[in-house]
Copies of this chain bind each other. A is one copy, B any other.
Amino acid sequence: MKGKIQPKTLPGFMELLPNEQILFNKMRAIIQESYEQYGFVPLDTPIIEDANVLLAKAGGETEKQIYRFEKGDTDLALRFDLTVPLAKYVTEYYDKLSFPFKRYQIGKVYRGEKPQRGRYREFYQCDVDIIGDGELSIINDAEIPSIIYNTFKKLGFDDFTICINNRKILNGLFSSLKLEDISSEILRIIDKIEKIGKEEVKKELLVLMPEKKANVIIKFLGIGGNNEEKIKELENMQINNEIFNEGIKEIKEVSKFIEIFGVPEENYKIDLSIARGLDYYTGTVYETFLNQYKNLGSICSGGRYDNLTEFYTDRKMPGVGISIGLSRLFFQLIDNKIISATEETIAEVLIISMTDDCEMCAKVAAKLREKGINVQINIEQQKIGKKFKYANNINANYVIIIGDEEIKNNVITLKDMNSGEQNTITLDETIKILQKNKK
């Protein structure tokens, strides 16, 4: 390798082998199809934006992680999520869009995090958001869990729970305790309850407030029962705070409509400890967990926000949305052997030529493709064993073998790679079998 450059993909950048890529793309296609079922239109904003536009809102961690650079005189940055570009888009094209504006976007985003196992610097987000012009009905907040439910069902999952909460309940509670000034700190502590447990949360809360107030929060977090019982208990807390009561009213309405939208009770629940770190959210919030793999963390999160576009315009544009971090999710699912890509294939049929005369191979390939079948041909100068190994490697379901005998008799030898069965038949018979067994 003298004088050669070592071809190396950067650390923290996902690059898959073909089988895995096929499966990844299938999942992406299912998510897209599911989003479209709800009438969301696609959007594809640039990966590069003016740094000042992109960083209008950002600060702290985001600013440190961002890929930012100059080209000519322009200060550029790579998008670090799909939400800021959406805010830019709805403000920039406001006059040309119809509201409520429902869009999905599936694309790569960039964060220069320290590379860790399963954490990527370039990763896919799959977002849906509904943006209102001035107002946005709370029923939209109930449709979102239905999207989550249908998407994960279509992805093949059954045992998952969509957890919902409402930031107004939390904020109203803190306000009634005169703790609103430290609400972000409290939220950050509450967010850890699954990980560190109630005792530790209380300890951390006591650093910030007297025991009486900490006890109210702990009692609040302990509210149990089914969704209806939880709402009743919240009402029974008799907290005289407008925001708190608005939050209860909203979560009640959202719960009611989640059911009407067809989400089974076992797949969603009110979870009062869910806060979502971001300051961003102002109402309903969502997290989604695989019940058998809670350690994966939330696999689909989001919420309601009132001030999406505040850095670009005075116009009020409330929204609600969710995001699936597909690259990370895919890694986790493969890593935990929840899904496997070993059987994935694109070519349903591989045609193998056993002779130098490739005319019939080409003819048969053209004919099968005309019939909508994915066909690959191998007309290389390779030994027959190597060609069959190739068929195995690409997971072809069928192999068509064409040699001198087949050409002479105008027939085809078709081998079913799963059963091992092999028959010499006509092209028409072959088409019938392949169409019947099309996946």
Contacts and interface: CB of A to CB of B under 8 A. Distances in A.
Nearest to A89: B15
Nearest to A103: B18
B122 A47 contact: yes
A421 interface: no
A350 B88 CA distance: 27
A375 B39 contact: yes
A380 interface: yes
Contact of A43 (B18, B38, B87, B108): B18
A260 interface: yes
Interface stretch (A162-170, A310-318, A410-418): A310-318
A298 B48 CA distance: 28
Interface stretch (A49-57, A178-186, A205-213): A49-57
B358 A8 contact: no
A193 interface: no
A374 B142 CA distance: 18
Given A260-B359, A375-B39, A393 B5 contact: no
A429 to B, nearest CB: 21
A108 B46 CA distance: 9
A405 interface: no
Interface string A73-111: 010100000000001110111001110101100001010
A133 to B, nearest CB: 9
Given A4-B311, A18-B103, A146-B366, A9 B46 contact: yes
A7 B92 contact: yes
A246 interface: no
A203 interface: no
Interface in A27-51: 36-50
A401 to B, nearest CB: 16
B362 A10 contact: no
Contact of A362 (B39, B121, B139, B380): B139
Contacts of A5: 52-53, 56, 311-312
B313 A39 contact: no
A291 to B, nearest CB: 23
Range of interface residues on A (Cβ < 8 Å):
35 or more
B380 A132 contact: yes
Nearest to A19: B41
Given A41-B346, A108-B47, A377 B7 contact: no
A238 to B, nearest CB: 29
A175 interface: no
Contacts of A103: 18
Contact of A380 (B1, B135, B261): B135
A71 interface: yes
A438 B125 CA distance: 30
Tell which of A22, A40, A48 has the most Cβ of chain B within 10 Å. Answer: A48
Nearest to A49: B10
A379 interface: yes
B56 A41 contact: no
A93 B17 contact: yes
Given A36-B346, A39-B376, A379-B137, A21 B6 contact: no
Contact of A312 (B7, B22, B25): B7
A24 interface: yes
12 contacts: A5-B311, A7-B91, A7-B313, A9-B45, A14-B46, A21-B44, A36-B374, A37-B369, A39-B346, A39-B376, A39-B394, A146-B366
Given A21-B41, A67-B69, 14 more contacts: A5-B311, A6-B312, A8-B92, A10-B74, A13-B46, A13-B48, A16-B44, A18-B42, A18-B43, A37-B374, A38-B376, A137-B379, A139-B379, A260-B359
Interface of A: 1, 4-10, 13-18, 21-22, 24-25, 36-50, 52-53, 56, 67, 69-72, 74, 76, 87-89, 91-93, 96-98, 100, 102-103, 108, 110, 112, 121-122, 132, 135-137, 139-140, 142-143, 146, 150, 257, 260-262, 309, 311-314, 346-347, 350, 358-359, 362-363, 365-366, 369-370, 372-381, 389-390, 393-394
